[in-house]
């Protein structure tokens, strides 16, 4: 897997993408946003590169934790 998101300009969002990757999610690199896709194939969302909402990363992480297929240990 190519981990281009490792050099995300925002540390908080870089860590956020890392959380998705650790949970076994696939991270795509479209032109404007990152797209994250879950292991079971039923869940996906976009991750903005430069969100204006200061709580964006936190909210996205909470969203990840709410997904029914989320398991903390998977993908490590």
Residues lying near Zn ion in the complex (CB under 5 A) are found at 38, 40, 42-43, 69
CA angle 6, 60, 13 (to 5 degrees): 25
C-beta closer to Zn ion: residue 52 or 68? 68
Cα–Cα distance measured from residue 74 to residue 21, given in angstroms and rounded to the nearest whole number: 9
Minimum CB separation from Zn ion for residue 59, in Å? 18
Nearest Cα neighbor of 45 from 60, 31, 65, 56 is 60
C-beta closer to Zn ion: residue 29 or 74? 74
C-beta closer to Zn ion: residue 15 or 44? 44
């Amino acid at each position: 897997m190519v981990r281009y998101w490792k050099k995300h300009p925002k540390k908080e969002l870089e860590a956020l993408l890392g959380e998705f990757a650790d949970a076994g999610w696939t991270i795509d690199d479209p032109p404007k946003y990152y797209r994250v896709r879950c292991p079971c194939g039923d869940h996906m969302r976009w991750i903005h590169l430069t969100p204006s909402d200061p709580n964006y990363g936190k909210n996205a992480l909470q969203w990840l934790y709410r997904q029914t297929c989320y398991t903390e240990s998977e993908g490590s």
